[in-house]
Amino acid sequence: MVGFTSSGEKIWPVTPDWTNGVQENLSWLSDVMQASATAVSQHRGLRIGPRRSFIFELLADGQERRVADMLLAGHRGVWLLPIWPDVQLIGAHAEAAEFITCKTPGFDFVAGGKALLWSAVNRWEIVQIDTVEALGLALSSPLVGNWPSGTRLYPLRRARVQDGAEEVLRNDSVGRRGIAFDIDEVSDWPALANLTTYLAHPVLDVRPDESDDPAASYAGLPQTVDYETSLPTVHDLPRLALRAQQSHWKLWSRAEHTWFRSLLYTLGGRRTPIWVPSFASDLKPVAAIAGGTTAVSVEWAGYTLFGKGKANRKDVLIELFDGTKLYRRITNAVEAGDTETLTLSSSLASVSIAPGAIRAISFMALSTLASDEVEIDHTTDQDGEATATTGWQAVVPDV
């Protein structure tokens, strides 16, 4: 249809003010059971896919402000919400066309779903998608209207508006309003293909953005008995320090957005453990690593005394400046004066590796996401910039 009709589906046609971006929330649900004596944990996903919501602001004036107010007051129920970060401009398409030429990889188009052709708050058309092709969308029925070059194309998802949406009037024709929509249908997305794995678990092999300083901490599982009258009694049966850390992400292209979303769907909230490197220089090599050898000499850091054989202190990422990433387990360590000699599970290369060729030797902790909820802050559409922060919580490795 072209514009609203009394019996037609109701879209939300008022576009967001991008000054503060569009926030997308993905929420999984996991059941995590952890043994107090060993800290060993079991993780189960309780949702097939995440719940999804969008939060954005409207800075509407004139007709757009009046339409937004009328829609919120006059319609309760399901909306068709444009997925704002997936906007694209398309070429001209004439009435009765059955194919829309557009970009589809990395966009939220689904076969059997809907899309929106939009040119104004009261001029748009909903189209039914038959199949999603590499070069565009095959439609279930022909277009009703003529759409010029530069028309906006959005994927559509069924959604319900959250109560609130308070408006602050700047004057009698201009208002600013925050509004939130909960997606009311399953939002499937492919998991990562060709994952790097180490000891049967995936590896986070992409270095996060470090323009914001990353943070990390350690915590155990102490149980305290305190009757207030004397010193408390502390029981720490696992005697383990589990690492928590944060990764900040800046996503600059559709390919990076697609990778990050697939990573989140692969992990499924706190369901799936993944090896997470510290991406810090935790051990410093002090001598060349001879080809074919498993011995690595590092600057003394107390590893032999405090790290040898400990959970999440046995596995390392050895990252070279040429981009090579090597994953190994430390099987032994001995002190040698101001250095320590580590024995790796296998040799690194057939040729010698100089210390100057090594960017960092980082400990890897088997971890899950620290929360089932992740927010993606879309500064622009997904061909541009978005930011996100993922927290990681180490678990006791099962390998």
- pLDDT (tens digit, 9 = 90+) per residue, 266-277? 999 999 999 999
- pLDDT (tens digit, 9 = 90+) per residue, 149-208? 999 999 999 999 999 889 898 898 899 999 999 999 999 999 999 899 999 999 999 999
Distance CA 255, CA 206 (A): 13
Distance CA 156, CA 148 (A): 20
CA distances to 145, 179, 270, 272, 385 from 266, in Å: 40, 29, 10, 8, 22
The residue to which tokens 């007709």 are assigned: 63
Structure tokens at 52: 């999804």
Burial of 322 (0-12, 13-18, 19+ CB in 10 A): exposed
Could you write out the DSSP letters of every residue in 320-373? ETTS-EEEEEEEEEEEETTEEEEEESS-S-SS-B-GGGEEEEEEEEEEEES-SE
Q: So what's the pLDDT on residue 3?
A: 73
pLDDT surpasses 60 at 15:
yes
The residue to which tokens 């057939």 are assigned: 350
Distance CA 304, CA 298 (A): 11
Length of the chain: 399
Q: Give the phi and the psi of residue 73 in degrees, each rounded to 5.
A: -80, -25
Q: Is 246 helix (H, G, I), strand (E, B) or coil?
A: strand
- pLDDT (tens digit, 9 = 90+) per residue, 93-149? 988 999 999 999 999 999 999 999 999 999 999 999 999 999 999 999 999 999 999
Residues 318, 358 contacting (CB under 8 angstroms): yes
Residues 190, 198 contacting (CB under 8 angstroms): no
pLDDT surpasses 80 at 7:
no
Q: So what's the pLDDT on residue 5?
A: 76
Mean pLDDT of 61-85: 94
pLDDT surpasses 80 at 361:
yes
For residue 2, name the pLDDT band (cuts at 50, 70, 90). low
Residue 270: partners with Cβ closer than 8 Å, 6 or more residues away: 28, 30, 32, 43, 368, 369, 370, 371, 372, 393
